[in-house]
Every structure is written in structure tokens, then in C-alpha cells.
Structure 1
Amino acid sequence: MDTTRSADGTTIAYDRSGSGTPVILVNGALSTRSGAHPLAEALASNFTVITYDRRGRGDSSDTSPYAVAREIQDLGALIDAVDGSAAVYGHSSGAALVAMAASSLPITRVVLHEPPYGPDDEESQQQSDEAGAAVLQLLAEGRRTDAVATFLTMAGMPSEDATEYAKTPGMAEVAHTLAYDFAVMDHPAKGGIVPVSLLGTIHQPTLVVAGSASPPFMTEAARSVAKTLPNGRLVELDGQHHVVPAEVLAPVLTEFLSRR
């Protein structure tokens, strides 16, 4: 494990593997860097791959108050630590974070894997707001496992599966960072809808990845994002869900990231 220090003094823990052009992997909600290790191993024969703990998770520290801008600075510190520029892959809310960072940091190529932007109709927005408020209330009450289960159900996981998964070791320890992910999703466009104006500022070559078996709102969001990007293209992975096995995802990323 290596560490770097962000602009506000937060320690960001990361692992480095492989050699070649740097690629940074940015995880989504409830994830630590260990969750990205299989993908990192699959990419390491072609790239220098960086996996890291977002602030407040794993071996990284935290600094209050939370701000999305500080998470962007964390990513900037990692880029400085590895080579001064890097390609960046973001999964789920991590993809939304990468989208916000792309126009201000030295990012060479961008991969947005199912950023979970929601529909902009009034009913969907109301349901999303109510579910998000319920998660935050549970966190405020210290009911971390219940907060995780509610969030996972909100994201499309069957209720029974969500309840069991929420009991996985380590989930309660990172549950508080769900509030950070909500802030990320709400920052560029209120209500977590597709941030059209923001996406228009991303001029790097950008790959948008979606799974055909993912919740429909995620697939639709990915299609909308790809259409909005000035230099984007979409790859839909047949039969794949929100989390894609490394052996399926790595060849797709390698082909895109290796382009001249």
C-alpha cells in the first residue's frame, strides 16, 4: 500500500500494479480498493493500475466537512502521484465523480461505467428523493446496516438480497459514505438527473459502459450520457449486470485505453 496527501491533508491510500500508461480505478458506493483488485489484475499486463480507497473508507482518512470538490482533489493528488496524467475509469457513483473531474484534471481518457443518473420525470424524482432521505435518516439514527439495505433496495436489488448483503463484514464501516455518494450524484444536476451541461465539457475520448441486464434506468442513463458527450461512444455488454466480471470488462477497457 502507498499513500498520498490530498489538498486538505486527507491521506489517500492506494495500491499500484503493472506497468505502462497509468489508469486509475474509481469505485462506487460502499466499495473499498480491494473490490477493484480483480479488474486491476486483469489490466496490469498492459497498464500501471491504481486502485484507491475514497476518503472515509478503508485505509484512507477523512476530513470534515465533506465536499465533492475535496473528492475531486483526492483524484488530482493521485494523478500527481503516479505520472501527472492518467486515464480514469469510474464505476457507478465513481463514474459520476469522474465526470465532474474530467474537465479540470489532467485526465487523458475517460470511462464512465453506468453512472446512476435517474429519470427526470416528477414521479421518479419524488421516489428518489424519498428513498434518499430515508437512507440519510437511518444514518443519522446510527442504523448503518438498515441504511445500507435501504440504499441497495433503492438501487434495484431485491429486498431480501439487500438485507443479507447489508450484513456483509465491512458494510457498516463504510455506510456513512453513502451520504458522500448522494452529494456526488446531486452536485452537477439537482435530483441526480443526467447532467447535460457538465457532460458537454468532457472533450476527452470517453467510453460509456452499460450492461443489458442492469436496472433499466441505469442502461437508459448510459445511453443518454453517450449521446450527450462530445467525444463519447457506448458499449453495451450483453447479459451483464451493474457489476461486471473482470474477465469480461478488462478486454473492453484495454481496447479503448490502448487506442492511439
Structure 2
Amino acid sequence: MTTTTSADGTRIAYTRAGSGPALVLVDGAMCYRGSSPNYALAKELAAHFTVYTYDRRGRGESGDAGPYAVEREVEDLAAIVKEAGGEAFLFGISSGVALVLEAAPRVAAPKLALYEPPFIVDGSRPRVPEDYPTRLDQALKDGKRGKAVKMFMTEGVGLGRAVVAMMRLMPFWAKLKRVAHTIPYDTALVIGHQAGEPLPAAWPEVTAPTLVIDGGRSPDWMRNGVGSLAKVLPSAEYRTLPGQTHIVKATALAPVLKEYFLR
């Protein structure tokens, strides 16, 4: 295990693989190096980039000094970029997109790529309830990690209750419960953009060239959010991967990232 130290003294664990320009992959909710779609993506990209994957705070082998603040996660990502030589391309997936957008103006990132942030910008799915963060915090305070994961899957992600009931019978449910305490971290990153309203020009300072990507088989609400993001970012292009969903295949995504970052 390789580690670096964030600005507040938190240990952040990371893996470096491959050779070439530095590229940092940023996970979404409840993902970490031992349980992440970015693991397969890193393997696909390592022939062309020096790829950095890391455990966001509170997950895997990273520490978790409190209290939590989005700024602390920005500092964590900045620490990884420093390990990468002070400059790196950034790729974010799902709620990791919001973290990349927060961090991009504060680190040297010549290009960004973003896959399917969970932004709700219209009425194509119910908005996340205003009291969701409070109820989520209470479930975790009461030690009800399974309840917190269920809330995230149904109210945050928008999955049907029957689907989530089946998920609770699967072996990976135990992994999700172990990192349930980090769900509020991702909630803090995205909740301001899940109210069913158009995105404001919230990131005018993100001026780096940015590729915004979605999957052709993803739900309308998610694709609408991705399209909206591409319109409000100052220097963005928008691309759809035919046949892909939010669980994007590394073999479909990696060639697009390679072409974009090395262009």
C-alpha cells in the first residue's frame, strides 16, 4: 500500500500503475480501490497513462479525520495530484464528478472527463427529498447502516424498492454497509443539484477543457442532467456511449478517454 497525507493529516491510500501522462480516477459513492469500476478502467488505461486510483476518505485503507467537509476531500484529491507530479488529468464518475468539479480550479488539471453525475434537473424523476440528509444522518447515528444504504439506493439513486430488496440478499450488500458512513459525504457533494431544477452556472471557474459523457441506455433523468452540465460548463463537449448504462464497461469508456486526453 502507498499512502500520502492530506492537508489535515489524514492518510490517503492510493495505487499507481502504468506509464505516461498522469491521470487520476475519482470514485463515486461507496466505491474504493477494492470495490470500484475504476479498477477495470485503470487496467485498460495503464498502457497509455500513469493511472492513480485512491481510496476516498473513510473508505478502504484511507483514514477519516472529522468533521467532514467537502473542502477536506478537495484537499485529499490535491494530495494525490501532488504525488502525481503536481499536474494530472482528472476523471470522475457518478458523484465523483462533483468532487472533480470542486477540485479542478484548485489543482493543475489540464483536462477533465466526467461520466454521469447524478444531477436531477427536471421532472423526469422525483427530486431527492429536502429532509433526506437529516434522515440519513439519523439512521447512521442509530447504527442502522442497512437502512442508510436502502435510503441511498431508493431515494438517492432512484431504484425501485423491489430491486433494493433483492440487492439486500446479495453478498455485496455487506460491503456497502461497511462504507455506509460515507454516504453523507457524497450527499453533501450532489444534493444541491438534485432538486429537479435546471443547473445554474455553478462552475464558471472550471475552464479546463472537459468531456462530459453518458450512456445511451441510461435513464432519461440522468442523461438530462449530463446534457445540462455540458451546457453550463465554459469549455465542454458532450458524448454518448451507445449501449452503455451508469454501470459503464471499461472497454467502452477507456478508448474514449484515451483519445480525448491524448488529443
In the alignment, the residues of structure 2 paired with residue 192 and residue 63 of structure 1 have an alpha-carbon distance, to the nearest angstrom, of 33
Match among 229, 232, 237 for residue 228 of structure 1 = 232
1:61-72 to structure 2, matched below 5 A, reads 61-72=63-74
In the alignment, the residues of structure 2 paired with residue 135 and residue 59 of structure 1 have an alpha-carbon distance, to the nearest angstrom, of 24
Q: Indicate the residue corresponding to 1:54 in structure 2.
A: 56
Match among 160, 165, 170 for residue 175 of structure 2 = 170
Secondary structure (helix, strand or coil) at the match of 1:103 reads helix
Which structure 1 residue ranges, 5 or more long, are not aligned?
none
Change (3 A) 1:20 1:223: same
Secondary structure (helix, strand or coil) at the match of 1:177 reads helix
Q: CA deviation at 1:227?
A: 1.0
In the alignment, the residues of structure 2 paired with residue 74 and residue 195 of structure 1 have an alpha-carbon distance, to the nearest angstrom, of 26
Percent identical: 41
For the 8 Å contact 2:27–2:94, the answer to whether it is kept is yes
1:69-88 to structure 2, matched below 5 A, reads 69-88=71-90
Which structure 2 residue ranges, 5 or more long, are not aligned?
none
Secondary structure (helix, strand or coil) at the match of 2:201 reads helix
Match among 103, 112, 115 for residue 113 of structure 1 = 115
Q: CA deviation at 1:40?
A: 0.2
Q: Indicate the residue corresponding to 2:185 in structure 1.
A: 180
Deviation string for 1:180-226 (max 9, x for gaps)?
11111146x68596653332221111000111222222110100011
For the 8 Å contact 1:194–1:224, the answer to whether it is kept is yes
Question: Are 1:241 and 2:229 counterparts?
Answer: no
Q: Which residue identity lines up with residue 235 of structure 2 in the other structure? A: N
In the alignment, the residues of structure 2 paired with residue 83 and residue 164 of structure 1 have an alpha-carbon distance, to the nearest angstrom, of 44
Change (3 A) 1:92 1:193: farther
In the alignment, the residues of structure 2 paired with residue 158 and residue 211 of structure 1 have an alpha-carbon distance, to the nearest angstrom, of 20
Question: Are 1:22 and 2:27 counterparts?
Answer: no
1:183-194 to structure 2, matched below 5 A, reads 183-186=188-191, 191=195
Q: CA deviation at 1:118?
A: 1.6
Secondary structure (helix, strand or coil) at the match of 1:129 reads coil
Secondary structure (helix, strand or coil) at the match of 1:236 reads strand
For the 8 Å contact 1:117–1:193, the answer to whether it is kept is no
Q: Indicate the residue corresponding to 1:136 in structure 2.
A: 137
Q: Indicate the residue corresponding to 1:104 in structure 2.
A: 106
- CA RMSD in angstroms, aligned pairs only: 2.0
Q: Which residue identity lines up with residue 41 of structure 1 in the other structure? A: K
Change (3 A) 1:192 1:110: farther
